[in-house]
Structure 1
Amino acid sequence: MSGVHFDAAAIRELAKILRETDLTEIELVEKDSRIRVARQITVTQVAHIPAAGAPATAAPAVAAAAVAEPVSDATHPGLIASPMVGVAYLSPEPGAAAFVTVGAKVSQGQTLMLIEAMKTFNQIRAPRAGTVTRILVEGGSPVEYGEPLMIIE
């Protein structure tokens, strides 16, 4: 990168914007230069357990069951989390076959689904080869940044 100089203050400002807006990536292009600032996501999921209406003796069992499943999806090593806010699509177009189904073997880089954000369809690709064991979203449903989408083992 000899001869190319970037303004460190501008990069810090872009990083600050990422934090303040919960974006995962910002790219700035001017003439012959390009700055791309991106960040990793951390998935945190909280289970809400209703307190009213359950007998006191049943509460611990309900709590354990309600908390165990979401935490295992959110911390699963094969978790594919949404890199953006948008609408998830499991097939390339309405009426077409899904990109993948539960039990499908996938290869690294294979398209798993699309997320539409600001009229742009973004391919969500497999980070590694494996088998799709769970699909955690429905086609056409809105997804949030960091939301669990799929598990590949």
Structure 2
Amino acid sequence: MSNDSKHDKHHEGDVAFIQSLAELLNSSDLSELSVKREYGEHDRLTVSLSKHARQAVHAPAPAIAVGPAPAAALAAPMPAQMPAMSEDPASLPGAVTSPMVGTAYLSAEPGTAPFVQIGQAVAEGDTLLIVEAMKTMNHIPAPRAGTVRRILIDDGTPVEFGAPLMVVE
């Protein structure tokens, strides 16, 4: 069995494992999970998931790092578009949350215009952003017609299942 084949099997199993951890976190009283798996000298998985209380606004926690990664890659950047507010963005009626663990992108390709901007009107089904998971680009559609009020993530941000991404009202 080639090294790439082993890596692909680890990666597929790791994604299912991470999704199971996210479901466990959401269905339990746990607020944080952290797992580190070593498959070999240069092959490892580090997972850190956290769920925050609804009283405060928090940036989405870093979701995963597969393989060797610098420590800076695990830090979640603070979104520039997130104004300070007392309520949790995920609790807002127009919140659009991530349906999976992955990396969120605001445009189709680096250097191109974003799918949407704050203040832009969108129709139900319009693409708001992309979440990449397992090298698959998943278009996240607007769940309803409305106006983009807030963008809660930066381009290239790791997101976890259920993390608030945008507010469309």
The normalised TM-score by structure 2 is 0.52
Q: Residue 89 of structure 1 aligns to which amino acid in structure 2?
A: Y
Q: Which residue of 2 aligns with 1:136?
A: 152
How far, CA to CA, are the matches of 2:91 and 2:151 in structure 1?
A: 15
How far, CA to CA, are the matches of 2:86 and 2:133 in structure 1?
A: 25
| Partner SS for 1:71 | coil
Q: Which residue of 2 aligns with 1:149?
A: 165
Per-residue deviation at 1:101? 0.3
Per-residue deviation at 1:123? 0.4
Q: Deviations over 1:1-53 (max 9, x none)?
A: xxxxxxxxxxxxxxxx9x94446xxxxxxxxxxxxxxxxxxxx64249xxxxx
Q: Which residue of 2 aligns with 1:104?
A: 120
Q: Residue 150 of structure 2 aligns to which amino acid in structure 1?
A: R
| Partner SS for 1:74 | helix
How far, CA to CA, are the matches of 2:141 and 2:52 in structure 1?
A: 23
Q: Which residue of 2 aligns with 1:73?
A: 89
Per-residue deviation at 1:74? 1.9
Q: Which residue of 1 aligns with 2:134?
A: 118
How far, CA to CA, are the matches of 1:20 and 1:88 in structure 2?
A: 20
User: Is the 8 Å Cα contact of residues 132 and 150 (structure 1) preserved in structure 2?
Assistant: yes
Per-residue deviation at 1:152? 0.5
Tell me the percent identity. 53
How far, CA to CA, are the matches of 2:125 and 2:109 in structure 1?
A: 20
| Partner SS for 2:140 | strand
How far, CA to CA, are the matches of 2:98 and 2:165 in structure 1?
A: 6
Q: Which has the larger radius of gyration?
A: 1
How far, CA to CA, are the matches of 1:98 and 1:70 in structure 2?
A: 27
The normalised TM-score by structure 1 is 0.58
Q: How many pairs are equivalent?
A: 98
How far, CA to CA, are the matches of 1:138 and 1:118 in structure 2?
A: 20
How far, CA to CA, are the matches of 2:126 and 2:22 in structure 1?
A: 27
Q: Structure 1: any 5+ residue segments left out of the alignment?
A: 1-16, 24-43, 49-67
Per-residue deviation at 1:73? 1.2
